Amino acid sequence: MYRLVFSQVLRRFDAEAVHHLTVSALALLARLPLLKRLLHRMLAPHDPVLRVTAFGVHFPGPLGLAAGFDKDAACAEAVAALGFGHVEVGTITAHGQPGNPRPRLFRQVRQHAVVNRMGFNNAGAAAAARRLRRARGVPVVVGVNIGKTKVVPEAEAVADYVTSARKLAPLADYLVVNVSSPNTPGLRNLQAVSLLRPLLAAVKEVADATPRRTPLLVKIAPDLADEDVDAVAELAMELELDGIIATNTTIRHEGESGGLSGRPLKARSLEVLRRLRAKVGDRITLVSAGGVEDVDDVWERILAGATLVQGYTGWIYGGPLWAARIHRDLARRVRRHGLKSVTEAIGRTA
């Protein structure tokens, strides 16, 4: 039914307009406690074989929603009620900004892909912090993804990230430093270890000082050369980060400029994951994102060493029950392999 609605109706409308309508509908759902709890009871992962613990945080299932959908922390509870094991909000910047000019979001339906050049459009860290302080009506693990404000020069990037971290780290279950979006000029330069080290060290100092010590992760691009992937892995171990998210969108594609997500990213994302696993082993939590479409993809990422998996474009093409369906199928697969928990499968073929 969803495929029919998408092919005949949704794809005929502007992609960003549909995105905003969906976020608004889910934000409304988040304010309807009875319906939200009912959906959470029906669709959220409750099977004990799916439970995962990463960097001291307990996740009801390994599949979460990647950053980019809930940019302002407006609907995390509703998203969790639809079956995601965690929700990563953002990317959030220290100061609110409108993002890049429209049009800036494009579907590539035949490839099951999306191109975006949104440019971190969000209301800023203070506005997100107000939303994150609200009491949660259903259990949800919320990660907060922070990025650089566009107008802030590279030389002041550390202070900009620290400003966001001070506002948001105490309210997050985990914090992510995003230095890999292709849509903020100069941002990917920060992946160079010489620039990344002081940035991560400064944000980690803030995260470590929160009452519960907020776990800190870094998100990297698929377009890094293999030796740069290794260098980031070594830096993450040196600084004792809690995790690496691999990967963000790619700029290696034709057509509209921006970051490409979805099916075309699948092979490179898996390749980077395997390289990271070979480098860090189980010393750092690895989160795999990019080209995740079904339970086979989730299972493959787990076998390759991912403790957590994230999707976003797959949800667009898979429909509202996508995450619930994958978690259900994943639980069956875990049992079919004679395992007591999905965690027993992590890294089995790494």
Active-site entry in 24, 164, 180, 181: 181
Residue 180 corresponds to which tokens in the numbers above?
Answer: 């890999």
Place of tokens 């980690």: 204
Beta strand extents in 122-211 (DSSP E only): 142-146, 174-178
Counting every residue written for the chain, the total comes to: 350
Question: Domains in the chain, start-ordered, CATH in brackets?
Answer: 2-345 (3.20.20.70)
Residue 229, classed as helix, strand or coil, is helix
The reply to whether 181 belongs to the active site is yes
pTM for the full predicted model: 0.95
pLDDT in tens, the chain (350 residues): 556 555 555 666 789 999 999 999 999 999 999 999 999 999 999 999 999 999 999 999 999 999 999 999 999 999 999 999 999 999 999 999 999 999 999 999 899 999 999 999 999 999 999 999 998 899 999 999 999 999 999 899 999 999 999 999 999 999 999 987 776 766 667 777 788 999 999 999 999 999 999 999 999 999 988 998 999 999 999 999 999 999 999 998 988 899 999 999 999 999 999 999 999 999 999 999 999 999 999 999 999 999 999 999 999 999 999 999 999 999 999 999 999 999 999 999 86
| C-alpha closest to that of 218 among 197, 192, 200 | 200
